[in-house]
Amino acid sequence: MYEYTSSKTLFERAQQCIPGGVNSPVRAFKSVGGNPIFIKKAIGAYLYDEDGNQYIDYIASWGPMILGHAFEPVIKAIQKKAEDSTSFGAPTQLEVEMAELIKSLAPNMDLIRMVNSGTEACMSAIRLARGYTGRNKFIKFEGCYHGHADMFLVKAGSGLATFGIQNVPGVTEGVAKDTLTAPYNNLEAVNRLVAENKNEIAAIIVEPIAGNMGCVLPEPGFLEGLRKICDEERILLVFDEVMTGFRLSPGGAQQKLSIDADLVTYGKVIGAGLPVGAFGGKKEIMAHIAPIGNVYQAGTLSGNPLAMIAGFTLLNELKSNPTIYDELESKTIYLKNGLKEVFTAAELDYTINQYGSMLSIFFTKNKVFDFETAAMTNSSLFKKFFHAMLMRGVYLPPSAFESWFLNNAISYSDLDKTISAAKESLADIL
């Protein structure tokens, strides 16, 4: 039986000095209940909490720990770089090497600008799309999450879906009215919005594989359809690859699905766990960013040397060893098949969506292809399942609306333990 004495004490202290005791809402376990686990360290596939409990980690810091925690080359590179100071606020050779490396992986990135988070990357990409096209509106999809900038907090996924937050106080009507929303995978709705807002839409932003309403895959033709609409209507197609970039393949979802976006946003993975984001695209568009153009965008710590060396080391590792992606996918499929067997034997209603190393279970028998179908999941069963798994040393995202992320340090024996834990958990809770 796991003891959580230290985590409980820390959560009490945390609530006295941090809103809700956490620095990002989903971490608070509010939707699954119980006390959040305070993590002390992580190595390879495992997290260790302040009480010394060990967990197999299926969050991977929400994506970036693709090769496992404390990956030695990354840690060594950060340590060495830190000796040369932690920030200059001036250009460095490493930033050039990093941009060149990303260009070599995602060839349609003529120019790329580093920022400090996925939120910054997405809000900057939309500002640029607006500045470039001279139009104000943009389309996003229900259940997709592009960070917490005002204009994205409309029918958003991730924590907003988890807590059922529809309208965010503080986001003005003026801002929200330029955010148009359509159901994921629904080209008809997009066509309607485009027709109703002729020559007013700057961009369509989409998670090419959605991960923020759980993992939801694009139907065949959906992304191709968006590309066509954008071409016909002079709208910019923005792929939010904050989760998928360098996780699904060296060139991200663009490469995996053979569709080029006009602008792409990255985060998480390119910082290997340090705070980084980036946005990039065609030169013709990116050249509108300051200091070449007047679309202003800046950051004191952007291109920070520690973040750059961490990401540079990780991306080089992924580039030089692309078989990692097949290994990760095989492990994810193994887990999916094992869970399917367990859920089927337990006569549960379930759907599992999986793409590459992303996976989600939904406790519903319906096909899950957009937010409405994702929301059919039995949240109270998920809540029980989450805690039963946690007690057996398996750390899942504490929300029915987040994707699981596998890391390559997870072994087949860890996967077997996870599948057995699922079987025992269901025996406990059903």
Q: Where are the alpha helices (DSSP H) in 280-411?
A: 283-286, 305-320, 323-345, 371-374, 379-391
Q: Return the residue nearest ligand PMP (CB atom).
A: 118
Cβ nearer to ligand PMP, comparing 67 with 242:
242
Active-site hit among 268, 350, 355, 383: 268
Least distance in Å: CB of 242 to ligand PMP? Answer: 3
Least distance in Å: CB of 158 to ligand PMP? Answer: 6
Cβ nearer to ligand PMP, comparing 147 with 251:
147
Least distance in Å: CB of 326 to ligand PMP? Answer: 24
Cβ nearer to ligand PMP, comparing 53 with 158:
158
Euclidean distance between CA atoms 22 and 15, whole angstroms: 8
Least distance in Å: CB of 58 to ligand PMP? Answer: 15
Cβ nearer to ligand PMP, comparing 10 with 276:
276
Cβ nearer to ligand PMP, comparing 161 with 342:
161
Least distance in Å: CB of 12 to ligand PMP? Answer: 26
The conformation of residue 21, written as its DSSP 8-state character, comes to G
| Chain center to CA of 130 | 24
Least distance in Å: CB of 198 to ligand PMP? Answer: 28
CB crowding 320-352: b at 16 or more within 10 Å, else e = eeeebbeebbebbeebeebbeebbeeeebebbb
Is 240 catalytic? The answer is yes
Give the binding site for ligand PMP (CB under 6 A). 62, 117-119, 122, 145-147, 158, 207, 211-212, 240, 242-243, 267, 277
Distances (CA, A) of 168 to 22, 162, 182, 370: 19, 14, 19, 22
At residue 352, the 3 state secondary structure works out as strand
Task: Kindly write down the DSSP assignment for every residue of 138-157, as one continuous string.
Answer: EEEETT----SSGGG-SS--
Is 268 catalytic? The answer is yes
* Beta-carbon count within 10 A of 208 CB: 26
Contact 358, 247 (CB under 8 A): yes
Cβ nearer to ligand PMP, comparing 147 with 250:
147
Euclidean distance between CA atoms 19 and 90, whole angstroms: 34
Active-site hit among 240, 262, 370, 414: 240
Euclidean distance between CA atoms 386 and 401, whole angstroms: 12
Active-site hit among 46, 58, 145, 266: 145
Which residues are designated catalytic?
A: 145, 240, 268
